[in-house]
């Protein structure tokens, strides 16, 4: 007899789709997904909701609808800042993208020498708060600046007539110059990537078809990097539009949105108008963010995995031009940073140029080394917890099972923070964490997170959220590159997912994890915008100390503190390179490149 | 009785949809203990989905999976008993071959030396003893796939699932590994299901082939049955090469094809006289002879003009255009395969000079099949 197994058959017309049994392991995964969702709701959704709500209330807390926005745009003093901000960011974007484009082109498409050093120099401004560039500009072009005074009268003595080269730094000129230095490395980085992903075979085809240089440029080069250009433009625009450091230092009486928020909130304690301006600041970034996302999605189809990287051929004219151009730009970058270093080392600018380290002692200055170490601790915590949270959430979205809609929500909320300017985020955090309780109808809901206000925790939290998206996307990319069936193999061998995560996913993604940690650390060190509303007198930070020293006229100390920050970031970067090199060496047996 | 086959796996009424796309519709199937079954079909036919449902990596909308007497329909993959090998190997790159094989053995209460012994045993089984310390990146594609096989077999699963395991390998390695997997499977007696779109793999490896199309099972049978008696023109076309001819039934075992009357005495059910049918015959089943213009034609023979000859090493493939068949110019050429020896006897070495010459094509009645022609609605009657 054939042994037919006796198993009760299902009812002939089942009403519902089958669902799998939820095991303990699956519950664990769902719990983690729910926790990640909860974290994003607390750190992103609720604070953001609070700031939007606040902009709809008047100063007494009565609901006034869009009245604040009407007031904003009909008050000339305020509305002017909006147009000023638009002007500054537009000019900055055009110049920074053009400079970045040529620089990236020179590095990826010519055979000039010294590409490595040019690349390093171009990225240096990334390791400094935007304030540093502004402070350096003051030393170069300010009232007592090197250039303004014609090298402290040297030029006058040579020519025999008084020479004063005043470019009118304080105001739009200074802001734009500062923002260009601040945005240039970002534009360069994005465009350099766009140039390297272009397929060499397309150029070969164009040459084979006897296309002219110009024709090749319009049919191959431009389409290949158009999305890079769009991306770079939006990033520069957002950075310049929302930056606080540069206009704070060299803005003079020229108002922009970012400084307005600060003045309204810190100066006048007008939280209502502060949040209204915050939302106004948010709108262009949100629009830019959406357009950029759409552009990026269309780009995917353009790239094929079989693309052949382009190796530029030597061309004397082009290579010379490229070298000259890059040298000029690199010199400018070095000059700005070098000026800051120099200024921090001279006794009394511009009268006594003996070198001294006394500005690094921060005597008689509010917030010295304690601020510095607070910043280092904050940046380290941000790197540690930020990397863990970001990687886990990216893993759950990419490789998780169950809770499909929940994972979609987590993805959206992880992408959202890139559109939040630091100032808006900081303001939202004050509103949300400062409120002891909410009144909903007749009930009073106590805010359990109120105790976080003014602590290290809230600073770290705001930093993690501020730099969430870029890290999240990096983690997602790394996870996507892993074989999609690793989890299935693990399940087939009855190995729980967390074991496969720990033994395979984390080791394979280790280089990306380090990269994310480095990114979090550097940004935690240099950021001003989000934390300026959140630090407490007992917990001052280095970057904020730079703002305050500059405010108090202690510019040399401000420069010294800035240099400390830059050196720390470069040290972190060096540590990262060493660690990456070590990992690469230890794992080269299995890591195929 | 012990010699009787035991049902190991049973698929009952499984249906799966993705949005509006019906991937599988009411699938019923049984797999015997120790059997090697191949799911064969073009991409998008639902074969991989069915495999993933059997594994618990997907959940069916409706229907049951009974494995070894147990209803596992709603169990996730980690609670089922199977090993799986994927086309991409999915070997963990940061673990050595030995660590990959041992991956499913840890945390199961096995002692370390027992694990090591098991890993050595498996490495020997796949002929890679001594390669345990190597990382996947240091192994060839074929070696990697054998490690993946060993990893799947390590916990001694009672069901082995292979998802296009050979598709990523080059032809020579593939042929070797085909043999190895089959022998290993016979030796271990583990019930095995393999998904493939390659008919040669299915024909050479499987005990039974399940041919699938558009979410349905269209034929289940041994390789010989599927090849010699395809259940439908789709199967006939998908498995091996096949010539199709339009004809009309003139009797239960007789059809008219153009000017010729052909008889069949094979396995075709009796035909309804007057009904349109599609005849099929494999290229290697046709007996070709050069024809002298005007001479008599034997029974069951069609006339064709030789258009081209292709030399394939062990065989020749003849491309012919049949004479006096309506609509013939729009159909693909009629194919005849000849063993090289037979071709020599027919003096085909001169090859291309023969182009344009007429040939008699004998279609043996027992190898000729007829299917109802669903593409023609009304029969066209002509006087015999």
Q: What would the pLDDT profile of A328-341 be if each residue is shown by its tens digit? A: 999 999 999 999 99
Q: Nearest CA to A520 among A391, A338, A349, A416?
A: A391
- Write out the E strands in B204-300: 208-213, 216-221, 243-251, 254-257, 260-263, 276-281, 287-290
B-chain residues near A592 (CB < 8 A): 93, 137
pLDDT of A378: 96
pLDDT of B3: 56
DSSP B140: -
Q: Nearest CA to B55 among B203, B210, B195, B213?
A: B195
Residue A518: strand, helix, or coil: helix
B-chain residues near A5 (CB < 8 A): 7, 10, 66, 69
User: Is residue A77 situated within a structural domain?
Assistant: yes
A-chain residues near B94 (CB < 8 A): 504, 507-508, 587, 590
Q: Which of B76, B83, B161 has its CB closest to that of A26? A: B76
- Identify residues of A whose CB sits under 8 angstroms from chain B CBs: 1-5, 7-10, 14, 17-21, 23, 25-26, 483-486, 488-496, 499, 503-504, 507-508, 587, 589-592
Which residues of chain B are under the pLDDT cut of 50?
1-2, 377-384
pLDDT of B16: 95
| Residue pLDDT, tens place only, A81-137 | 989 999 999 999 999 999 999 999 999 888 899 999 999 999 999 998 888 999 999
A interface test, pick of B76, B151, B162 with most A CB neighbours within 10 Å: B76
Provide the shortest C-alpha distance from residue A490 to chain B (in Å): 8
Q: What values do phi and psi take at B65, rounded to 5?
A: -120, 120
* Torsion angle defined by CA atoms of residues B374, B376, B377 and B382, in that order, rounded to the nearest 10 degrees: -130
Range list of H helices, chain B:
47-55, 97-102, 112-125, 141-153, 171-188, 199-205, 223-228, 233-238, 340-345
Alpha carbon distance B173, A337 (integer Å): 60
Q: Which of A26, A489, A499 has its CB closest to that of B84? A: A489
pLDDT of B378: 40
- Cα B237 vs. chain centroid, distance in angstroms? 11
B-chain residues near A19 (CB < 8 A): 59, 74
Phi-psi label, residue B308: left if phi above 0, alpha if psi -120 to 50, beta otherwise? beta
Nearest CA in chain A to B54: A492
User: Is residue A275 situated within a structural domain?
Assistant: yes
Q: What values do phi and psi take at B63, rounded to 5?
A: 105, 170
Provide the shortest C-alpha distance from residue A204 to chain B (in Å): 29
| Residue pLDDT, tens place only, A357-374 | 888 887 777 678 889 999
Nearest CA in chain A to B152: A493
One-letter-per-residue 3-state SS of A121-190: HHHHHHHCCHHHHHHHHHHHHCCCCCCCCCCCCHHHHHHCCCCCCCCCCCCHHHHHHHHHHHHHHHHHHH
Q: Does residue A535 register a pLDDT over 50?
A: yes
Residues with Cβ within 8 Å of B238's Cβ and at least 6 positions away in sequence, in order, are B40, B41, B42, B199, B211, B213
* Torsion angle defined by CA atoms of residues B282, B284, B285 and B287, in that order, rounded to the nearest 10 degrees: 130
User: Is residue A411 situated within a structural domain?
Assistant: no
User: Is residue A132 situated within a structural domain?
Assistant: yes
pLDDT of B2: 47
Task: Give me the domain span that covers residue A342.
Answer: 55-200+226-303+313-356
Structural Rg of chain A based on CA atoms:
27
Alpha carbon distance A543, A565 (integer Å): 8
B-chain residues near A20 (CB < 8 A): 56, 59, 74-76
CA distances from A330 to A124, A130, A333, A334, A473 (A): 10, 17, 5, 6, 30
- More confident site: B142 or A144: B142
Provide the shortest C-alpha distance from residue B173 to chain A (in Å): 22
Mark yes or no for CB contact B62/A589 under 8 Å: no
pLDDT of A6: 55
**Residue range A363-391: average pLDDT?**
90
The helix (run of H) or strand (run of E) holding residue A87 is helix A76-109
A-chain residues near B90 (CB < 8 A): 483, 485-486, 488-489
Mark yes or no for CB contact A20/B61 under 8 Å: no
CA distances from A503 to A331, A506, A549 (A): 47, 7, 49
Token readout for B308 is 């081209």
CATH number of the domain encompassing residue A77: 1.10.3720.10
CA distances from B289 to A532, B301, B369 (A): 95, 10, 22
Mark yes or no for CB contact B12/A5 under 8 Å: no
pLDDT of B296: 82
DSSP A353: E
Mark yes or no for CB contact A18/B82 under 8 Å: no
Q: Which of B6, B12, B71 has its CB closest to that of A3? A: B6
Q: Nearest CA to B360 among B263, B286, B265, B307?
A: B286
B-chain residues near A589 (CB < 8 A): 135, 137-138
Token readout for B183 is 């022998």
pTM of the predicted protein model = 0.86
Dihedral sign computed on CA atoms, order B229, B231, B232, B234: negative
pLDDT of B329: 65
What percent of chain A lies above the pLDDT cut of 70? 94
A-chain residues near B49 (CB < 8 A): none
Mark yes or no for CB contact B6/A483 under 8 Å: no
Alpha carbon distance A564, A543 (integer Å): 10
Phi-psi label, residue B327: left if phi above 0, alpha if psi -120 to 50, beta otherwise? left
B interface test, pick of A1, A5, A10, A495 with most B CB neighbours within 10 Å: A5
Provide the shortest C-alpha distance from residue B17 to chain A (in Å): 10
Mark yes or no for CB contact A493/B60 under 8 Å: no
User: Is residue A438 situated within a structural domain?
Assistant: no
Peptide bond into A350 cis (omega under 30): yes
Range list of H helices, A400-502:
404-415, 422-434, 456-466, 468-480, 486-492, 497-500
Alpha carbon distance B219, B217 (integer Å): 6
Q: Which of A2, A19, A492 has its CB closest to that of B7? A: A2
Provide the shortest C-alpha distance from residue A24 to chain B (in Å): 11
Provide the shortest C-alpha distance from residue B337 to chain A (in Å): 38
Residue B319: strand, helix, or coil: strand
**What's the complex ipTM?**
0.83
Nearest CA in chain B to A486: B90
CB B185 within 8 A of CB B109: no
Mode of pairing for the β-strands spanning B83-86 and B276-281: unpaired
A-chain residues near B106 (CB < 8 A): 495
Nearest CA in chain B to A589: B135
- More confident site: A584 or A523: A523
Mark yes or no for CB contact B78/A496 under 8 Å: yes
**Residue range A562-589: average pLDDT?**
90
User: Is residue A240 situated within a structural domain?
Assistant: yes
Q: How many CB pairs under 8 A join A and B?
A: 133
A interface test, pick of B12, B26, B78 with most A CB neighbours within 10 Å: B78
Dihedral sign computed on CA atoms, order A130, A133, A136, A141: negative
Q: What values do phi and psi take at B49, rounded to 5?
A: -60, -40
Token readout for A573 is 């970067």
Mark yes or no for CB contact A3/B84 under 8 Å: no
Q: Which of B5, B82, B86 has its CB closest to that of A485? A: B86
How many domains does chain A divide into?
A: 1
A-chain residues near B1 (CB < 8 A): 1
| Residue pLDDT, tens place only, A438-474 | 777 788 888 888 888 788 999 999 999 999 988 998 8
Residues with Cβ within 8 Å of B233's Cβ and at least 6 positions away in sequence, in order, are B242, B244, B278, B280, B371
| Residue pLDDT, tens place only, A2-45 | 444 455 555 544 557 888 888 888 899 999 999 999 999 999 99
Alpha carbon distance A285, A283 (integer Å): 5
Q: Which of B73, B86, B94 has its CB closest to that of A587? A: B94
CA distances from A84 to A179, A267, A270 (A): 14, 20, 21
Residue B146: exposed, middle, or buried by beta-carbon count in 10 A (0-12, 13-18, 19+)? buried
Provide the shortest C-alpha distance from residue A319 to chain B (in Å): 39
| Residue pLDDT, tens place only, A409-431 | 898 899 888 888 888 899 899 88
Q: Which of A7, A496, A590 has its CB closest to that of B135? A: A590
Alpha carbon distance A495, A508 (integer Å): 18
Strand partners, B322: B304
A interface test, pick of B27, B51, B56, B92 with most A CB neighbours within 10 Å: B92
Q: How confident is the model at residue A1 (pLDDT cuts 50, 70, 90)?
A: very low
Mark yes or no for CB contact A590/B74 under 8 Å: no
Nearest CA in chain A to B104: A493
**Residue range A487-496: average pLDDT?**
93
pLDDT of A306: 53
Provide the shortest C-alpha distance from residue A172 to chain B (in Å): 54
User: Is residue A396 situated within a structural domain?
Assistant: no
Nearest CA in chain A to B33: A3
User: Is residue A288 situated within a structural domain?
Assistant: yes
Q: Which of A18, A486, A490 has its CB closest to that of B74? A: A18
A-chain residues near B108 (CB < 8 A): 494
Q: How many residues does chain A have?
A: 593
Q: Which of A26, A492, A499 has its CB closest to that of B84? A: A492
Mark yes or no for CB contact A23/B137 under 8 Å: no
Q: How confident is the model at residue A145 (pLDDT cuts 50, 70, 90)?
A: confident
Q: Nearest CA to A429 among A338, A353, A529?
A: A529
Q: Which of B62, B79, B136 has its CB closest to that of A23? A: B79
């Amino acid at each position: 007899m054939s042994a037919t197994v006796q198993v009760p058959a299902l009812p002939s017309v089942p009403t519902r789709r089958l669902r799998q049994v939820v095991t303990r392991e699956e519950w664990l995964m769902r719990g983690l997904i729910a926790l990640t969702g909860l974290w994003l709701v607390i750190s992103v959704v609720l604070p953001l909701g609070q700031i939007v709500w606040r902009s709809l209330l008047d100063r007494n807390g009565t609901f006034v609808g869009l009245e604040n926005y009407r007031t904003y745009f009909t008050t000339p003093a305020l509305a002017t800042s909006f147009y000023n901000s638009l002007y500054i960011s537009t000019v900055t974007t055009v110049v920074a993208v053009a400079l970045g484009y040529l620089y990236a082109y020179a590095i990826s498409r010519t055979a000039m020498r010294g590409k490595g050093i040019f690349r390093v120099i171009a990225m240096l401004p990334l390791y400094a708060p935007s304030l540093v560039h502004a402070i350096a500009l003051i030393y170069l072009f300010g009232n007592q600046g090197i250039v303004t005074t014609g090298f402290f009268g040297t030029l006058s003595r040579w020519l025999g007539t008084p020479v004063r080269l005043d470019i009118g730094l304080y105001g739009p000129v200074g802001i734009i110059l500062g923002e260009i230095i601040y945005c240039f490395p970002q534009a360069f980085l994005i465009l350099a990537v766009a140039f390297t992903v272009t397929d060499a075979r397309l150029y070969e085809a164009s040459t084979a078809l006897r296309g002219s240089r110009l024709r090749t440029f319009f049919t191959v080069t431009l389409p290949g990097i158009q999305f890079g250009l769009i991306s770079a433009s939006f990033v520069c625009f957002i950075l310049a539009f929302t930056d606080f450091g540069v206009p704070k230092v060299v803005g003079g009486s020229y108002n922009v949105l970012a400084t307005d928020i600060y003045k309204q909130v810190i100066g006048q304690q007008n939280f209502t108008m502060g949040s209204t301006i915050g939302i106004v600041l948010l709108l262009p970034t949100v629009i830019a963010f959406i357009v950029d996302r759409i552009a990026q999605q269309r780009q995917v189809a353009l790239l094929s995995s079989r693309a052949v990287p382009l190796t530029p051929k030597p061309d004397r004219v082009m290579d010379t031009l490229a070298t000259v151009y890059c040298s000029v730009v690199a010199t400018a970058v070095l000059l700005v940073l070098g000026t800051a270093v120099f200024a921090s080392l001279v006794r009394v600018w511009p009268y006594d140029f003996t070198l001294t380290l006394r500005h690094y002692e921060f005597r008689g200055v509010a917030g010295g080394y304690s601020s510095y170490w607070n910043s280092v601790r904050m940046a380290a915590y941000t790197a540690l917890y930020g990397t863990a949270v970001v990687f886990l959430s990216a893993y759950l979205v990419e490789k998780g099972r169950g809770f499909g809609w929940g994972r979609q929500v987590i993805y959206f909320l992880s992408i959202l923070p890139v559109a939040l300017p630091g100032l808006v985020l900081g303001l939202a955090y004050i509103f949300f964490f400062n409120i002891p309780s909410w009144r909903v109808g007749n009930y009073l809901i106590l805010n359990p997170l109120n105790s976080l206000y003014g602590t290290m925790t809230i600073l770290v939290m705001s930093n993690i959220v501020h730099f969430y998206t870029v890290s999240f996307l990096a983690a997602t990319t790394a996870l996507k590159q892993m074989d999609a069936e690793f989890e299935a193999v693990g399940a087939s061998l009855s190995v729980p997912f967390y074991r496969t995560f720990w033994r395979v996913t984390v080791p394979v993604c280790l280089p990306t994890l380090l990269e994310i940690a480095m990114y979090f650390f550097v940004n935690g060190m240099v950021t001003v915008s989000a934390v300026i509303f959140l630090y407490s007198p007992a917990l001052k930070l280095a970057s904020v100390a730079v703002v305050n020293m500059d405010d108090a006229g202690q510019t040399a100390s401000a420069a010294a503190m800035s240099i400390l920050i830059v050196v720390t970031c470069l040290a972190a970067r060096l540590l990262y390179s060493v660690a990456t090199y070590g990992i690469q060496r230890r794992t080269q047996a299995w890591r195929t490149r | 009785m012990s010699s009787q086959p035991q049902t190991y796996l049973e698929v009952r009424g499984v249906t799966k949809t993705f949005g509006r796309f019906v991937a599988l519709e009411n699938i019923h199937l049984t797999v015997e203990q120790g059997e090697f079954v191949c799911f064969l079909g073009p991409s998008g036919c639902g074969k991989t989905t069915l495999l993933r449902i059997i594994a618990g990596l997907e959940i069916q909308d409706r229907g049951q999976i009974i494995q070894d007497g147990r209803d596992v329909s709603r169990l996730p993959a980690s609670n089922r008993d199977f090993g799986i090998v994927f086309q991409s190997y999915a070997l963990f790159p940061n673990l050595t071959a030995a660590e990959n094989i041992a991956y499913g053995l840890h945390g199961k209460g096995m002692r370390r030396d027992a694990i090591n012994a098991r890993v050595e045993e498996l490495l020997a089984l796949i002929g890679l003893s001594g390669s345990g310390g190597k990382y996947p990146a240091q192994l060839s594609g074929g070696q990697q796939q054998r490690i993946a096989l060993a990893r799947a077999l390590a916990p001694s699963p009672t069901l082995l699932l292979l998802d296009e395991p050979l598709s990523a390998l080059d032809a020579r390695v593939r042929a070797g590994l085909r043999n190895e997997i089959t022998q290993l499977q016979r030796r271990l007696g583990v019930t095995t299901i393999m998904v493939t779109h390659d008919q040669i793999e299915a024909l050479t490896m499987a005990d039974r082939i399940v041919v699938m199309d558009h979410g349905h099972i269209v034929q289940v049978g041994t390789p010989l049955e599927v090849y010699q008696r395809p259940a439908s023109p789709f199967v006939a076309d998908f498995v091996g090469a096949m010539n199709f001819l339009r004809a009309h039934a003139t009797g239960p075992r007789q059809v008219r094809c153009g000017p010729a009357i052909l008889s069949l005495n094979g396995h075709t059910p009796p035909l309804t006289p007057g009904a349109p049918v599609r005849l099929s015959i494999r290229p290697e089943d046709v007996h070709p002879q050069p024809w002298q213009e005007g001479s008599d034609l034997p029974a069951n023979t069609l006339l064709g003009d030789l258009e081209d000859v292709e030399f394939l090493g062990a065989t020749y493939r003849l491309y012919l255009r049949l004479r006096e068949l309506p609509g013939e110019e729009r159909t693909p050429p009629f194919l005849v395969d000849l063993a090289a020896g037979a071709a020599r006897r027919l003096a085909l070495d001169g090859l291309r000079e023969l182009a344009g010459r007429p040939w008699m094509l004998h279609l043996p009645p027992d190898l000729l099949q007829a299917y109802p022609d669903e593409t023609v609605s009304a029969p066209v009657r002509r006087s015999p």
